[in-house]
Amino acid sequence: MKLAFIGLGAIGKPISQRLIDNGYDLNLYQRNKLNYGDQKKYFFDPIEAVSDCDGLLICVTDDDAVESVLFGDNGVSNSLKHNSFVIDFSTISPNKSISIHKRLGQQNIFYVDCPVSGGTEGASKGSLSLFVGASKKECLSFEHIFQVLAKSINYFNGVGKGQQVKALNQILVAGTYAAVAEAMELGKLLDLPMDDVIDALTVGAANSWPLENRSKAMLIDKHPLGFKLELHHKDLSIAIALAKSINIELPISSRVKEIEQKLMQIGLGELDISVLHRYISLMKKEAENNRID
């Protein structure tokens, strides 16, 4: 099976490397002609990258990026083989996934939305969670790809369903990261022994992945990149829009989105989402300045 991969970002690059390490024949599309050593693997024209491939894997930022890859000025949709498949690891709107599925289906190309959770660590270790907008039966011919990348493969029978589940995932991420951020900052201001506090909290009902894996990074204000703040902000926008489409409000997620927007405005969007903790000190400074004024 010959595959093409488009989207060598923070998540896409380790995913592609893991596939290569497990024996897959990958054509990698790279926009910039840099020195990569083994130039046979890299293509600088996306149409050349997908030519004669059995499947295309995509991992890009948003709806517009996926649209551009497939149907833009240099889009690859018309160069894909009939009866090939497209696995889209991007997090995009469910409606966009449905639209793409229909358009590619007219060319006898099977498109499946397959957003991921687990960050850069999960992508490198092959321990991602996959939310697949299709049935297991529909994916049998390429299920082995999922098995290399994930410890949890979850099938939700219907195009766009994977994106809907990812929206729920990002709502939960918003709440847990924001709660851990507030707790860490308050603990520091109370001058508590925070290493001991974290050890105590991780064995109780308050435990969470962010508490176990990002709380100490928050305390020292250093942020290993697992997932960019600006990308989570984009994902929350999808979740909030999805809720509004059925006349539901998400007040907690909406508040976290506002906080992320303020942090992005001061240049923190490229950092890991754990940088949320800086909002507490930002508010504290604003309050102090207001008192002075």
| 134-182 pLDDT tens trace | 999 999 999 999 999 999 999 999 999 999 999 999 999 999 999 999 9
Same structural domain, 231 and 103: no
Domain of 283, in residue numbers: 164-292
What number is the average pLDDT over the span 16-33? Answer: 92
Same structural domain, 94 and 221: no
Same structural domain, 77 and 195: no
The pTM of the full predicted model, rounded to 2 decimals, is 0.93
Same structural domain, 134 and 178: no
The model's confidence at residue 35, banded by pLDDT at 50, 70 and 90, is low
3-state secondary structure the chain: CEEEEECCCCCHHHHHHHHHHCCCEEEEECCCCCCCCCHHHEECCHHHHHCCCCEEEECCCCHHHHHHHHHCCCCCHHHCCCCCEEEECCCCCHHHHHHHHHHHHCCCCEEEECCEECHHHHHHHCCEEEEECCCCHHHHHHHHHHHHHEEEEEECCCCCHHHHHHHHHHHHHHHHHHHHHHHHHHHHHCCCCHHHHHHHHCCCCCCCHHHHHHHHHHHHCCCCCCCEHHHHHHHHHHHHHHHHCCCCCCHHHHHHHHHHHHHHHCCCCCCEHHHHHHHHHHHHHHHHHHHHC
